[in-house]
């Protein structure tokens, strides 16, 4: 073998190793927090590159920092993107404007829960150096002149058309996003490589067909090569016309690079090799993409289609090929999509089968052609009107398939996913039917509901990481209890939908037998609406604001008792608290009670608790010395967000528990915390795994701030 051939064979391996090394080096630098801007005001100058305003009370902006004003200095921010929220914005802004803003920033961070969305990884994958909020803002430069001059508001679904063509999501309502999630079609409604790729493919096919009609077919005018160049040119022109925003530029760049790599390849093996090279080149150029779920799922989708069609030579009709493609994608992607998101809607395959052809072959190409035909206003308006009408048809189909609660597959532990993924490889390959039937048995466990692993007479507590709020799941052998449901911001984040429901699906049987609200403050009860929508028949204690104090009940050998200072001065002091015991282990969830309520409840509380969910997130007005000394808990969990403005838990409160011999954990630092009565010395957190607490170490040495 010649040296050149050896080098050619070694090149893919070298690229893979280089990409892995590049991602590792980048992840080490990204993991180091930039403390220079934490908890202090900064004045920054920069350019707005994306705006998202879904209601009048909050504007989310992507802000590229170009300058830092003295005396504050934070060189790590220069040239980086930050994600800012401006509450009650005082003026209308436009993409491209240069502004000077007084901001409070914090390093990228987010909740970490079983089955939930990892916001921190998403921020890092999108390239944000920080998040925060605006205190004051002044426009110091005009908005950049857009390359397009469309008034999308004159169309019925103008917000969706803007999202499909320009990546501008501000016009997509919360209800529409929820519809796409419920039907498993959210991937169709945001700008992606699929959209740009379909458009480029249509340009390629049209060009190829026309070029084959030319009489001259000499080598310099090979129709396929010229058609490839036409597709590449159309993609570049579309990206330039759309303003080259981050979503458009990323999708167009991926498609353009794919066209270049695939220009001279024909066999499935070569295409697989080209996909590997494309992934490595992409990661070398932008290692942060390694943290984005969509990056890997897009490659997995292509792999599934290649396995299904790459080795099959029998001709198929367009309808048959579409059906087989949707079945292959559903079978092949379901295990991994479910593992990453916690559920897969059962209507996803039907919804995609009906809507994908409509969106990919008609709506998206018409909308993009309408954007590109802007010099010809009448033609552009006609194309966008047609796209708008067809989009209405697609939405009507999705509304018919939208059910509440959403019927979905929810059993996605690692063992089931691994077996189903192996089975999916056999199912999508053109193998004999008998062998496929055997493989199907390894995929079927995904449809079998999860069972409880709690022994009879024991119980398990999972304190969720819902930011500056509270939510916890308590399991016995045959029952599940939810205590509080986190915060809900109107038109924005809903912990009940985004955190509590995924955690219920991922941590055990997908059901609830009872919901207890300690009190009706938004950070404790805001998410209960989403919970009640998903489990409409579940009883809710405390929804009317009153607590049936000193009520007892028994589940599977475990005793529950509600305690409340019914004559407390505030709603916090009248919190409905919960004491749980099985005779050997005792835990107490204390709501938001203050020192006054603690004094009233102390006589009802046992000594030497195993676990205490600290009162009022560790505020300075709770956890009195008498309360701490009486309970003497072995483990204290503070349900509080990292970098929260109240500075919970207060250092003096944490120290007070430590001096009493307690180990302390804060959900904002460790993620969700799970403790079980049958293994009381083992605590598991989402960020630290099974070693969240070292019981052999001095308690005060385990404090994390």
- SS3 letters for 179-237? HHHHCCCHHHCCCCHHHHHHHHHHHHHHHHHHHHCCCCCCHHHCHHHHHHHHHHHHHHH
Q: What is the tens place of the pLDDT at every residue in 479-495?
A: 999 999 999 987 678 99
Q: What is the tens place of the pLDDT at every residue in 177-186?
A: 888 888 988 8
* Strand ranges inside 600-678, DSSP E: 611-613, 635-638, 663-666, 673-676
Q: Which has more pLDDT, 522 or 319?
A: 522
Q: Which has more pLDDT, 599 or 410?
A: 599
Q: What is the tens place of the pLDDT at every residue in 280-304?
A: 878 888 888 888 887 888 778 878 8
Contact 171, 158 (CB under 8 A): yes
- Residue 13 in any domain: the answer is no
- Residue 173 in any domain: the answer is yes
652 and 687 together in one domain: yes
Rounded to a whole number, what is the distance in angstroms from the first to the last CA of the chain?
60
Contact 104, 132 (CB under 8 A): yes
Contact 331, 442 (CB under 8 A): no
**What pLDDT is stored for residue 540 in this prediction?**
94
345 and 422 together in one domain: no
Measured CA to CA in angstroms, residue 58 lies from 92, 484, 492, 524 at distances of: 12, 25, 9, 22
User: Which structural domain, as residue segments, surrounds residue 70?
Assistant: 33-145
Percentage of the chain beyond pLDDT 70 is 85
Half-sphere CA count of 54, side-chain side, radius 13 A? 14
- Unique residue bearing structure tokens 């897009």: 298
198 and 254 together in one domain: yes
569 and 590 together in one domain: yes
Average pLDDT over residues 149-160: 81
C-alpha radius of gyration, the chain, whole number: 28
CA-nearest of 489, 452, 473 to 613 is 473
223 and 239 together in one domain: yes
Task: Give CA 564 to chain center in angstroms.
Answer: 37
User: Per the structure, how many domains does the chain have?
Assistant: 4
- Residue 294 in any domain: the answer is yes
Residues in the chain: 705
Top-ranked range on mean pLDDT: pick from 140-149, 161-170, 172-181: 172-181
DSSP 310-364: TT--S---HHHHHHHHHHHHHHHHHHHHHHHHS-EETTHHHHHHHHHHHIIIIIH
526 and 619 together in one domain: yes
595 and 650 together in one domain: yes
117 and 68 together in one domain: yes
Q: Which has more pLDDT, 402 or 173?
A: 402
- Give the C-alpha separation, 677 to 611, whole Å: 10
Q: What is the tens place of the pLDDT at every residue in 493-517?
A: 899 999 999 999 888 899 999 999 9
162 and 134 together in one domain: no
For residue 32, the 8-state DSSP code is S
Percentage of the chain beyond pLDDT 90 is 32
**What pLDDT is stored for residue 705 in this prediction?**
41
**Confidence grade of residue 702 (pLDDT, cut at 50, 70, 90):** very low
Contact 237, 255 (CB under 8 A): no
- Give the C-alpha separation, 29 to 36, whole Å: 15
Contact 547, 494 (CB under 8 A): no
């Amino acid at each position: 073998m010649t040296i050149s051939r050896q080098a050619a064979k070694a090149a893919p391996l070298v690229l893979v190793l280089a990409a892995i090394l590049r991602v590792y080096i980048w992840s080490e630098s990204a993991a180091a927090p930039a403390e220079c801007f934490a908890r202090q005001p900064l004045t920054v100058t920069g350019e707005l590159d994306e705006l998202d305003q879904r209601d009048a009370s909050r504007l989310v902006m992507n802000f590229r920092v170009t300058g830092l004003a003295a005396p504050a200095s934070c060189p790590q921010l220069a040239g980086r993107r930050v994600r800012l929220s401006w509450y009650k914005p005082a003026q209308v802004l436009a993409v491209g404007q240069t502004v000077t803003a007084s901001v409070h920033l914090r390093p990228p961070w987010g909740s970490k829960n079983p089955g939930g969305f990892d916001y921190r990884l998403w921020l890092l994958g999108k390239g944000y150096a920080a998040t925060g909020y605006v205190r004051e803002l002044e426009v110091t430069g005009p908005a950049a002149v857009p390359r397009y001059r469309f008034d999308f508001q004159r169309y019925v679904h103008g917000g969706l058309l803007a999202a499909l063509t320009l990546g501008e999501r501000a016009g997509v309502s919360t209800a529409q996003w929820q519809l796409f999630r419920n039907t498993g079609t959210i991937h169709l409604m945001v700008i992606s490589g699929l959209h740009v790729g379909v458009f480029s493919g249509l340009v390629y096919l049209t060009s190829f067909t026309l070029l084959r009609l030319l009489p001259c077919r000499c080598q310099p005018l090979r129709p396929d090569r010229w058609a490839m160049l036409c597709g590449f040119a159309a993609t570049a022109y579309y990206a330039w016309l759309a303003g080259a925003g981050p979503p458009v530029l990323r999708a167009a760049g991926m498609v353009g690079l794919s066209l270049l790599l695939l220009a001279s390849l024909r066999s499935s093996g070569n295409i697989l090799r080209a996909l590997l090279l494309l992934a490595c080149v992409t990661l070398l150029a932008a290692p942060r993409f390694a943290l984005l779920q969509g990056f890997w799922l897009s490659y997995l989708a292509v792999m599934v289609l290649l396995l299904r069609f790459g080795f099959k030579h029998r001709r198929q009709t367009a309808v048959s090929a579409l059906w087989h493609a949707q079945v292959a994608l559903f079978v092949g992607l379901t295990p991994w999509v479910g593992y990453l998101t916690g559920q897969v809607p059962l209507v996803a395959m039907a919804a995609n089968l009906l809507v994908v052809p409509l969106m990919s072959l008609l709506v998206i190409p018409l909308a993009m052609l309408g954007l590109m035909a802007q010099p010809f206003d009448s033609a552009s308006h006609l194309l966008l009107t047609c796209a708008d009408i067809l989009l209405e048809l697609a939405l009507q189909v999705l509304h018919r398939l939208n059910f509440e609660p959403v019927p979905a597959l929810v059993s996605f532990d690692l063992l089931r996913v691994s077996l189903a993924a192996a089975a999916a490889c056999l199912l999508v390959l053109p193998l004999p039917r008998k062998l496929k039937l055997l493989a199907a048995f390894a995929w079927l466990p995904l449809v079998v509901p999860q069972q409880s692993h709690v022994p009879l007479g024991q119980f398990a507590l999972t304190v969720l990481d819902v930011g500056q709020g509270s939510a916890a799941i308590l399991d016995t052998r045959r029952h599940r209890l939810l205590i509080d449901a986190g915060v809900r911001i109107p038109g924005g984040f809903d912990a009940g939908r985004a955190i509590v429901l995924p955690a219920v699906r991922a941590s055990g049987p997908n059901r609830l037998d009872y919901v207890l609200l300690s009190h009706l403050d938004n950070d404790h009860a805001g998410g209960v609406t989403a919970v009640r929508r998903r489990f409409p028949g579940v009883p809710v204690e405390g929804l009317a604001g009153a607590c049936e104090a000193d009520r007892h009940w028994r589940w599977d050998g475990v005793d529950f008792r509600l305690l409340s200072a019914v004559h407390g001065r505030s709603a916090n002091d009248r919190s409905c608290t919960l004491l749980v015991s099985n005779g050997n282990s005792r835990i107490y969830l204390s709501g938001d009670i203050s020192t006054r309520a603690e004094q009233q409840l102390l006589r009802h509380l046992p000594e030497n608790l195993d676990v205490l969910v600290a009162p009022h997130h560790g505020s300075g007005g709770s956890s009195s010395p008498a309360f701490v000394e009486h309970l003497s808990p072995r483990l204290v969990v503070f349900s509080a967000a990292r970098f929260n403005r109240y500075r919970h838990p207060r250092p003096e409160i944490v120290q007070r528990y430590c001096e009493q011999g307690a180990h302390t954990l804060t959900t904002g630092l460790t993620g969700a915390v799970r403790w079980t009565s049958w293994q009381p010395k083992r605590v598991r957190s989402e960020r630290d795994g099974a070693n969240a607490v070292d019981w052999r170490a001095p308690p005060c040495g385990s404090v994390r701030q």
